[in-house]
Amino acid sequence: MKPILPGSTIGILGGGQLGRMFAIAARRMGYRVHALDPTPDSPTGQVADVEIEAKYDDVEAARYFASRCDVVTMEFENIPSSTVRAIEELRPVHPSAHVLHVCQHRRREKEFLSASGFAVVPFRSVDSVVALRAAIGELGLPVVLKTAGYGYDGKGQVRIDSAESVDDAWRRMGESEGVVEQFVRFERELSVICARDVEGRTRCFDVAENEHRRHILDTSVAPSRIPRALADRAQKLASDIAIALDVVGLIAVEMFLLPDGRLLVNELAPRPHNSGHWSFDACVTSQFEQQLRAVCGLPLGNPSLLSPAAIANILGDLWTVGAPRWDLAMRVPDIRLHIYGKLQPRPGRKMGHLCATASTPDAALAAVLSARQTLEPIA
């Protein structure tokens, strides 16, 4: 592949905060950025050169968008494969329609991982309440029922603890195709973001250690506070998955660390990831610049941490009594504030994050939690 050099135009499908930070990285390196998203004045569109407002299934709009770009990537995997295939006829697209087809559907994703020899949480595919009951009989309780597609940030999933709640859980999930997983008691939640270039070379970022609240990522710390040998295993696992899936760009691999030291793959995301936002401030090459390098056929950058870092997400809940006092949070030393430009705050919606670097992961985490606490509404 001939490198796509600065001065070229990068197209990005999706208008959220991941696209916004990607666009910032691309523009810093001298690229033009065009964004396609159904929402006008999207976070990505606010910093892109051109914003095209269109639905993701509008193939003609996607073709027009692609015709004005040199390469297309995305910050959101729930793009119809028909749209991506139409773009592939005109321009290089990374990740490919095949990668999206696997990763945007939980059953296909888990079947790919299992067939490729990667350890996953025990699961069954279900398409009826009868199949759900049969799966519970095999897996035991508790279990987690998830929709097969279009789930993120805890949406599209419910825990089932008793046989009496099965029918209600099936109705809440929309009575559609799903995946039911055995509930596992893990020691830590980890994630690794791996970049893979067009020549098949991979480079992994440090392992992140994550905490969720209400199924939404709350904090992420890097490097993780696990033994080096275990971190090496986690990075190799992410790299092996990127190779098996033939990813060009980024793949984020979420995994559970069990008390016995085993790693189970939970979910994949073929794009930048919330648990890698610290890379924007704390790495030689951020995940967003690395995505740009990979899809443009440039040499991959150095993903090393310059110092330990942590992030804390800012959700729309903070706006319940008015706009947060950002100046109070920024009084905490070494705090960096990222606001995503979303026009409407809602409970549970990611509106921004705080990042801190420090001499240790624990110190960085303490800093972002202290800064966020100053933003909490006073009851």
Is residue 111 in a domain?
Answer: no
Same domain, 194 and 247: yes
Count up the domains in the chain and report the number.
3
Same domain, 295 and 361: yes
Say which amino acid occupies 136. I
Among 182, 185, 206, 209, residue whose Cα is nearest residue 260: 185
pLDDT for residue 154 is more than 60: no
Calculate mean pLDDT across residues 308-337. Answer: 93
Q: Tell me the CA end-to-end span of the chain in Å, nearest whole number.
A: 58
Joined tokens for residue 174: 């929309």
Is residue 1 in a domain?
Answer: no
What would the pLDDT profile of 99-113 be if each residue is shown by its tens digit? 999 999 999 999 999
Query: Whole domain around residue 50: which residue ranges?
Result: 9-93
Residue 151: pLDDT band with limits 50, 70, 90: low
Cα separation, 128 vs 92, whole angstroms: 39
Is residue 41 in a domain?
Answer: yes
What are the CB-based long-range contacts (under 8 Å, 24+) for 328-336?
A: 328/374, 328/375, 329/354, 329/371, 329/372, 329/374, 329/375, 330/371, 331/374, 332/356, 332/367, 332/370, 332/371, 332/374, 333/367, 334/358, 334/367, 335/367, 335/368, 335/371, 336/281
Cβ–Cβ < 8 Å for 12, 20: no
pLDDT value of position 234: 98
pLDDT for residue 69 is more than 60: yes
CATH code where residue 336 lies: 3.30.470.20
Positive/negative CA dihedral, 88, 92, 98, 102 = negative
pLDDT value of position 64: 97
Residue 379: pLDDT band with limits 50, 70, 90: low
Residue 153: pLDDT band with limits 50, 70, 90: low
Is residue 218 in a domain?
Answer: yes
Is residue 249 in a domain?
Answer: yes
Same domain, 261 and 192: yes
CATH code where residue 140 lies: 3.30.1490.20
Is residue 173 in a domain?
Answer: yes
Same domain, 164 and 30: no
Among 221, 377, 194, residue whose Cα is nearest residue 300: 194
Is residue 362 in a domain?
Answer: yes
Same domain, 175 and 193: no
Same domain, 67 and 207: no
Calculate mean pLDDT across residues 210-217. Answer: 94
pLDDT value of position 173: 83
Residue 148: pLDDT band with limits 50, 70, 90: confident
CATH code where residue 42 lies: 3.40.50.20
Same domain, 219 and 324: yes
What would the pLDDT profile of 233-292 be if each residue is shown by its tens digit? 999 999 999 999 999 999 999 999 999 999 999 999 999 999 999 999 999 999 999 999
DSSP code at position 377: P
Same domain, 86 and 196: no
Same domain, 176 and 195: no
pLDDT value of position 152: 60
pLDDT value of position 244: 98
Average pLDDT, the chain: 95
Cβ–Cβ < 8 Å for 289, 23: no
Task: Decide the pairing of beta strands 32-37 and 309-315.
Answer: unpaired
Cα separation, 242 vs 239, whole angstroms: 5
Same domain, 172 and 282: no
Residue 130: pLDDT band with limits 50, 70, 90: very high
Task: Decide the pairing of beta strands 249-257 and 263-269.
Answer: antiparallel
Residue 121: pLDDT band with limits 50, 70, 90: very high
Q: Where are the beta strands (DSSP E) in the chain?
A: 9-13, 32-37, 50-53, 71-74, 123-126, 143-147, 157-160, 178-182, 188-196, 202-204, 208-213, 216-222, 249-257, 263-269, 309-315, 335-339, 350-357
What would the pLDDT profile of 295-304 be if each residue is shown by its tens digit? 999 999 999 9
Same domain, 145 and 250: no
3-state secondary structure at position 66: helix
Same domain, 47 and 196: no
Is residue 165 in a domain?
Answer: yes
Q: Which of 135, 152, 182 is the last residue of a domain?
A: 182
